[in-house]
Amino acid sequence: MRIIQLMLVFILCGAGAAMAQSNKQTLTTAKIKVPSVQCNMCKDRIQRYFLKEEGVKSMVVDVKKKEATVKYYTDRTNIENIKTAIANAGYDADDVTANEDSYDALPKCCKKPEDGGGPVKKN
């Protein structure tokens, strides 16, 4: 009986170690240029969009630098998917152009200055 108990303990320990090994995830940080970000509303839209994106741990957008810093799990997504998601939200991301329909749906302040947008200036 004691041998059976010991064998069960070894089997369970081995299975636990194997599961811990298979659940090992690689977290990567990347910076993406988002030149079409104009204001804090843009920042909030992009960050909120990524709350539901699979594999993205965090997304921080810097409006002044026009840059997004993203932390993501490489076993769940990749940088191209993230750039495409930013484009689907209506913003340019490095070499990926914004989705036209999503861009048209943005508020006026979030559009590019050449399209009559940009942040509202306070007097």
Which residues of the chain register pLDDT less than 50? Answer: 17-18, 20-21, 123
What secondary structure, in 3-state letters, does the chain show?
CHHHHHHHHHHHHHHHHHHHHHCCCCEEEEEEECCCCCCHHHHHHHHHHCCCCCCEEEEEEECCCCEEEEEEECCCCCHHHHHHHHHHCCCCECCECCCHHHHHCCCHHHCCHHHCCCCCCCC
CATH of 27-115, one of 3.40.309.10, 3.40.50.2300, 3.30.70.100, 3.30.565.10: 3.30.70.100
pLDDT on residue 20: 47
- Contact 41/62 with Cβ under 8 angstroms? no
Amino acid at 83: K
pLDDT on residue 52: 82
Domain ranges within the chain, ordered by starting residue: 27-115
CA gap 77, 75 in Å, rounded: 6
Amino acid at 99: N
pLDDT on residue 119: 64
